[in-house]
Structure 1
């Protein structure tokens, strides 16, 4: 079974494209995408420092382009994962009536880290710390999906 998973953060230039890149490397048969709750960076590639940090781990993000989350994503994906509580609130605000697509915090799949969210490295400048959490959550998600 091919899973359709959407990773969501604020601007779609750091956390969510990194999560998409890390997860697609783990599960190449999954259909993945990423989006931001804000539209500031639509059409732009992931932030240079995040691309460099990911590339140092063998993850290529260069083909990704930012887009904004939309209500239609609830029907296009089986699982929507937000990077923090604010992302989840923004996602839920667009949920169509009657839609039951699961929306979860990505770090739920990395409980061993104790993290409640993936801090935004655009502001913290800790790209490697964000990638450590993203890798842990991606591995947990793969286990959850039975891979």
Structure 2
């Protein structure tokens, strides 16, 4: 069986989804779990840009390197290329569902509830807040990824 492919989706692909991708990549490797991870956004505003520097710094303080990240936009083909496509919040889940067809192979859903890490249901967007929001997101990402790893191990 091939490694599961997991895609994390937020709005601009510069804060939450690249964070969760980075945490998942590192924690899955540490756990010896073969998983392919990536991230994207439902919006196009930041395509080609790196992760928000506030998130880069918050992640680095916790030992996660987001510097290689470059934002990209969700494509219809992602629903066939990935096994699991997780939205960070309900708005972005609706954006993902616009691409779902009867032939789509990906399982879609909200990241935190799927991993058992909810509440909250929606992963909060720190973009318009202060630095403490970015730090809180790192802790939430770590909690969600721990649940993701446990659930993937049971598959």
TM-score band, normalised by the shorter chain? over 0.9
Q: TM-score, structure 2 length as denominator?
A: 0.89
1:75 equivalent to 2:80? Answer yes
Q: Which runs of 5+ in 2 are unaligned?
A: none
What are the residue-to-residue correspondences of 1:43-62 with 2, within 5 Å? 43-62=48-67
Q: Residues 52-102 of structure 1, C-alpha deviation per residue, up to 9 Å, x if partnerless?
A: 000000000000100000100011100001000001000001113432421
Q: Which runs of 5+ in 1 are unaligned?
A: none
SS of aligned partner of 1:5: strand
Greater shift after overlay, 60-69 or 118-127? Answer: 118-127
The number of residue pairs the alignment matches comes to: 147
Q: Residues 85-128 of structure 1, C-alpha deviation per residue, up to 9 Å, x if partnerless?
A: 00100000111343242101111145455211111011233001
* Contact preservation (8 Å) 2:89, 2:123: yes
1:127 is aligned to: 134
1:26 is aligned to: 27
| Deviant stretches of 4+, over 4 Å | none
1:11 equivalent to 2:12? Answer yes
